[in-house]
Structure 1
Amino acid sequence: MEVAYSFAGLVVGFIVGLTGIGGGALMTPILIVVFGIAPVVAVSTDLLYAAITKFGGMWSYARKKMVYWKVVGLLLAGSIPGSLLTLNYLKGLEALESIESLMNMTLGVSLVLTSVAVFLRNRIREKALSFEHHPLAHRARLVRPYATVLMGLLLGCLVTLSSVGAGALGTAMLILLYPRMTMPAIVGSDLVHAVVLTSIAGAGHYTMGNVDLSLLIYLLAGSLPGVFLGSHVGVRLSPKVMQPIMGSILFAIGLRFVLAG
């Protein structure tokens, strides 16, 4: 079983390196559906798994000065309280069935939203850029900081409950709010936010006794070389081919969890 966990980590890591998406969105469903791990343990362990695997990428973008720290700060101003409130709510739920039902439904919704974000990312950017010339664009820019905090609050709740949403969904929201930002800056800012958010949410779940540390180690043993291999192969593949495939997979998995809930 330990070898199977590492192999799952290798496969998911390879896909992440290949496409840049799908870490938590694939790992949590695999742990629940394939290995039969309880949703609470799967989500909690995957949060720390995501924080560790994304740290290297975050550091790389930060060193290259491709992070908008003001945007990250606004996101965290919403996502940290959102995560802490969600953790506090989970602590108040005594019935394990209630927690798992809530997590399964949130996981399904998050995966469907993520698949839509993957499919429509380029179109969202085009529409947001065209709106920049609209008469209401100036007024929209005035409320943008508040919208960013609200977006962080939503992500904080979703990610803490499902471990999904900090990647593709967060990127799509940033594209919508900040269309003039370059894609490397959007990805870098989203990565920094994701690492901090998943670390806090994962630590909160750890204090509740939900994290399986041995499972985490086996997953990392496979995923770290997987990300390295996938990133080398991924430079030869067109995003126009990979994004629809990943979007379809995430949508199908998400629908399965929504219908099961």
Structure 2
Amino acid sequence: MDLQFVASGFAVGLLVGMTGVGGGSLMTPLLTLLFGVTPAVAVGTDLAFASLTKGVGTFTHRMRGTVHWDIVRRLCMGALPAALIASIGLKYFGTLSKEMGQIIRYTIAGSVFLTVIALLFRRKMLAWITTHPERQLQGRALHNATIFTGAVLGVLVTISSIGAGAIGATVLVMLYPRLTAAEVAGTDIAYAVPLTAIAAVGHWWLGSINWMLLLTLLVGSVPGITIGAYAARAVPERLLRGILAVTLVAVAVKLVYT
């Protein structure tokens, strides 16, 4: 078992536990840039990793009653078919080809930039939508917007493994500003489980999952997330998110220009 991957899983788990940001924003670029894992394999392995870890989180949130299953259903109506279509598209165009690998790298970089925007401006966006209630969607418009959001995230997650964390949670806050922070987190994690599972199955079909790598990442990440959750109380959230945002920008730039 490669201790480097165990240590990486622990580091990412620690940051996820401390900041709440999805592991894909960190794990996929780390595997691609630091360890030279091909983009397709990095994405596929991270999706399998996410489906397992988010499943545990969903169980916890369900026990606490912080999952809005009606919203989960709408998100899945868009996300699951989109994930299937994206997987078929990757198969058709050649997931492991050099050209597709470069496209995946650019998609990862774009997703990382979106994550940074979500990190830095989430509170301002929430404040704006709260002070402009006339701009909030209602009824059928809200229903359709939720399905469309799920479809966009389904494609994004299947191609880059990034999007179901900070980006998805930020969109949920914009669409459903009355949800508490715990309800946003629980709902976001719950819909991400079937999405990442289907996307992971698609990558397994494509042959782009490294199962030994997945195991080593899990060995490190589980204690990392646990420790990070406790450490979060001692470290200012704004400082953590600022450091994380700077790191992610550097990662995205390197992905584009490598």
Band of TM-score, shorter chain: over 0.9
**Structure 1: 5+ residue runs without aligned partners?**
none
Contact 1:144 1:177 in 2 (8 A): yes
Match of 1:35 in 2: 35
Q: Aligned ranges for residues 7-22 of structure 1 at < 5 Å?
A: 7-22=7-22
Residue matched to 1:83: 83
Q: 2:219 aligns with which of 215, 221, 224?
A: 221
C-alpha distance in structure 2 between counterparts of 1:113 and 1:85, whole Å: 22
Following TM superposition, by how much is the alpha carbon of 1:22 offset from its aligned partner in structure 2, in angstroms?
4.3
Q: Any idea what the Cα deviations from partners look like across 1:86-115, whole Å, max 9, x if unmatched? A: 101011114711220111011000000010
Q: Counterparts of 1:157-236 in structure 2 under 5 Å?
A: 157-236=155-234
Between the aligned partners of 1:227 and 1:14, the Cα distance in structure 2 is 5
- In the other structure, the counterpart of 2:2 is 2
Partner of 1:58: 58
**Counterpart contact for 2:19–2:232, Cα < 8 Å:** yes
Q: Is the 8 A contact 1:14 1:230 kept in 2?
A: yes
Q: TM-score, normalised by structure 1?
A: 0.94
Are 1:115 and 2:116 counterparts? yes
The structure 1 segments of at least 4 consecutive aligned residues displaced by more than 6 Å after TM superposition are none
Percent of counterpart pairs with the same letter? 35
Deviation at 1:252, TM superposition (A): 2.0
- Distance across 2 between alignment mates of 1:256 and 1:145: 38
Matches of 2:121 and 2:246, distance apart in 1: 12
With normalisation by structure 2, the TM-score equals: 0.95
Q: Deviations over 1:51-88 (max 9, x none)?
A: 11222222111111101101111101011111111101
Which of 138, 141, 148 is the aligned partner of 2:138?
141
Q: How many residues align?
A: 256
Q: Please tell me whether the aligned partners of residues 15 and 22 of structure 1 are also in contact (alpha carbons under 8 angstroms).
A: no
Query: Structure 2: 5+ residue runs without aligned partners?
Result: none
Structure 2 counterpart of 1:237: 235
AA at the equivalent of 1:119: L
Cα distance in 2 for partners of 1:149, 1:22 equals 21
Is residue 44 of structure 1 aligned with residue 44 of structure 2?
Answer: yes
Asked if the contact 1:22/1:246 (under 8 Å) is kept, the reply is: no
SS at match of 2:138: helix
1:156-200 per-residue CA deviation (whole Å, 9 max, x = no partner) reads: 000000001100000000011111111110110001111221111
1:120 CA displacement: 0.7
- Using the alignment, how far apart are the partners of 2:22 and 2:180 within structure 1? 22
Q: Is the 8 A contact 1:5 1:218 kept in 2?
A: yes
The one-letter code sitting in structure 1 at the alignment partner of 2:6 is S
Matched to 1:77, the amino acid is M
RMSD of Structure 2 on Structure 1 (CA): 1.3
- Name the SS of the counterpart of 1:62 in structure 2: helix
| Residue 149 of structure 2, aligned match among 151, 176, 180 | 151
Query: In the aligned structure 1, how far is the partner of 2:253 from the partner of 2:169?
Result: 22
- Judge conservation of contact 2:33–2:255 (CA < 8 Å) in 1: no
